[in-house]
Amino acid sequence: MNILVTGASGQLGSTLRALTITNQEGLNFVYKSSAELDITDFESVHQELTLNDYAYCINCAAFTNVDKAESDTDLARLVNITGARNLALGCNENQTILIHISTDFVFDGYLNEPYHEEAIARPIGFYGDTKYKGERAIINNLQEYFILRTSWLYSEFGNNFMKTMIRLGNERDELSVVYDQIGTPTYAKDLATVILYIIKAHSIDYGVYNYSNEGVASWYDFAKAIFDGQGIEIDLKPIRSEEYPTPAERPKFSVLDKAKIKDTFHLSIPHWKDSLAIALKAYSKIEA
């Protein structure tokens, strides 16, 4: 069974590659970076899918720089909407099942209770808007898809909050981090493991699913746990979002309700603190 992974050089693509380096019981993973397969070019997507008989396509390619999306709107729109549509159309023509990664940023954060899959998507930033429109492009052009909305993704690979905090913690004596944005950190390895589980289960329970680790945190809580786990001594100060203005507004509360994915696939999801401990060990091993 051939499986295409787009955006293979990003943190989720790199995590999947690390997980599938050993024998995967007849699964043949083909990893394509954005340089090797431009999902914004329909002809390239169509040719790749048509010539290689892929059973699945895991789309890890995305424009994920939330602040830069506010200014580089054309590129964000091209990758997150046009790219998603191209993959949906190509998968539809070739009977390929699409697994697409989306985000908690499709929600505005005003609900103050965990968001389930049917909650109204009302993005407050351009990044979230393009990701939601990318979801709709898939839903409108393909029947066999899994859209996995996740939150606060981090890992030992790529650029992410965990690695940034470790770097800053080693450079500075004090740091301020917002405490009034609430969500759930998600270890990319846990998300990748669920993706592989869905494939190996040959599931036909298509649709939109939420997936994050268990538990709730602010960015301040997340940062403190990272510093504690790394033994970094730093004067960490909690601040409000207004004290750290950014080009893009973030949802104040974007905790995801995961009942649907747990019930459908009988999953036990790790708590974010437990997964963070594993991620920090993996990071330390790489950096040693």
Q: Which CATH number fits the domain that encloses residue 263?
A: 3.40.50.720
Q: Which residues of the chain have pLDDT under 70?
A: 23
Task: Give the model's pLDDT for residue 112.
Answer: 85
Please check whether residue 166 lies inside any domain of the structure: no
Which of 207, 198, 208 lies closest to 150, judged by CA?
A: 208
Token pair recorded at residue 157:
């690979």
Tell me how many helices (H) and strands (E) the chain has. 10, 12
For residue 78, the surrounding DSSP H or E stretch is: none
The contacts found for 259-268 with CB under 8 angstroms, 24 or more apart, are: 259/116, 260/116, 260/117, 260/209, 260/210, 261/148, 261/194, 261/209, 261/210, 261/211, 264/203, 264/205, 264/209, 265/194, 265/197, 265/198, 265/201, 265/203, 265/205, 267/194, 267/197
Query: CA-CA distance, 2 to 19, in Å (whole number)?
Result: 16
Biggest alpha carbon–alpha carbon distance for the chain:
56
For residue 169, tell me if it sits in a domain: no
Is residue 199 included in any domain, yes or no? yes
Q: Are 282 and 190 in contact (CB under 8 A)?
A: no
Quick one: pLDDT at residue 287? 86
Amino acid 262: pLDDT: 98
Total count of domains within the chain: 1
- The pLDDT score that the predictor gives to residue 232 is 97
Angle among Cα 32, 29, 130 to the nearest 5 degrees reads 50
CA dist 59 and 159 (Å) reads: 18
Domain contains 163: no
The answer to whether 202 and 140 are in contact (CB under 8 A) is no
Whether 235 is covered by a domain: the verdict is: no
In a domain, 73, yes or no: yes
Structural domain contains residue 116:
yes
Structure confidence at residue 283 (pLDDT): 96
Contacts for 268 with CB less than 8 Å, ≥ 6 apart: 262
Predicted pLDDT of residue 11: 96
Within a 13 Å sphere around the CA of 263, how many CA atoms are in the beta-carbon half?
6
Domain encompassing residue 46: 2-156+185-214+255-270
Residues carrying an active site annotation: 127
What is the rounded distance in angstroms from the CA atom of residue 135 to the CA atom of residue 72? Answer: 20
pLDDT at 193: 97
Residue 264: inside a domain: yes
